Every structure is written in C-alpha cells, then in structure tokens.
Copies of this chain bind each other. A is one copy, B any other.
Amino acid sequence: MDLDRKDLAILAELTTNARASHTELANKVGLSSTALARRQKALEDDGYIQAYQAALDLAQFGLTTTVLVRIALESQSDEALKAFEAEVVKCPSVVRCFLMSGTDDYILIVLARDIQDFERIHRTELSRLPRVARVQSSFALREIVNRAVPTVVFGEAKR
C-alpha cells in the first residue's frame, strides 16, 4: 500500500461522486485527465476500489427503524454456527451480521419500518432461525454517525 495524497484525494472524491468524469476529478485533485485516468485505473485494478454503487435513502422506503439484535445459540458447535449462518443470510431485513467474541454469539443489524413492523420481522424472520437460544433486541433512537469509510483512511499520506 503506497498511496500518496493525490491517490487519497481521488478516493475521497470518488467516495462522494462516484460518477465524476476524469476531467472533473483531475481539476479537483490537481492533475491532468490522463494522469488521473491512469491512477484511477490502478486503484481499481489493485482492489482499493471495490465497486461503484448508488446509495439509496432508506427513509424514503419507510425504513426508519434500526434494531440491534443480540442472539445466543444453543451450542457453539461448528455445525450449529453453519446452520445459523446459512439461514441468516436469507433474512431480507438483516443488513449486517457479526459473529462476536464474548457472551453474545451473533449481533445483527435489522432495518424495519417501525416497531410493529419489527414485531413482524421478529416473528417471520428471526424466530425461524435455527439453534437460537436467546434473542435480545435494542432499538436505535437516533443515528449520530454513519460513514462508509472511516475518516482515518484519508489521512494516511505516505509520499
């Protein structure tokens, strides 16, 4: 990983405007469009940029309620973990799922329309997960930070 300030500036800008043209980016970064195209392609080929994706406003779809769900399994056997994970990926309302150290086995982040909708999700998605011993839900009252990329990434200039 040897990225200079200009590479980071390109990444920072593309994190905001993924559809920016070479010329547009070149002006912001301080390069010619040729040099910028080379660097951008290198960033893609080297895997720093995984994809370009549209960010949807989930509130527009009525998904205003975020729920953190802690799940403990009946057993921590490899077979139980595999069975649980095979099913949890199918849950349409689950956006993240971590296998955790400590007492809780899994932590899920679930998006719902409201509390009543979460009751439905709990009934139709979560309670059907296999090998579950305990489910504990906490509602997010407000979201203070939501970043795709930690700001620390853009401050690690090498050259």
Contact = CB atoms under 8 A, between A and B. Distances in A.
Given A14-B53, A15-B54, A18-B19, 18 more contacts: A11-B56, A49-B54, A49-B56, A49-B57, A50-B55, A58-B153, A63-B150, A63-B153, A66-B98, A88-B144, A89-B145, A95-B145, A95-B147, A95-B148, A98-B144, A99-B144, A108-B145, A111-B150
A100 B139 contact: yes
Given A52-B55, A150-B63, A98 B15 contact: no
A108 B19 CA distance: 30
A96 B107 CA distance: 15
Interface string A92-118: 111111111110101110010000000
What is the interface residue range for chain A against chain B?
35 or more
A146 interface: yes
Nearest to A101: B139
A96 B18 CA distance: 22
A54 B18 contact: yes
A68 interface: yes
A95 to B, nearest CB: 5
Nearest to A108: B145
Nearest to A52: B18
A53 B52 contact: yes
Contacts of A30: none
Contacts of A93: 150, 152
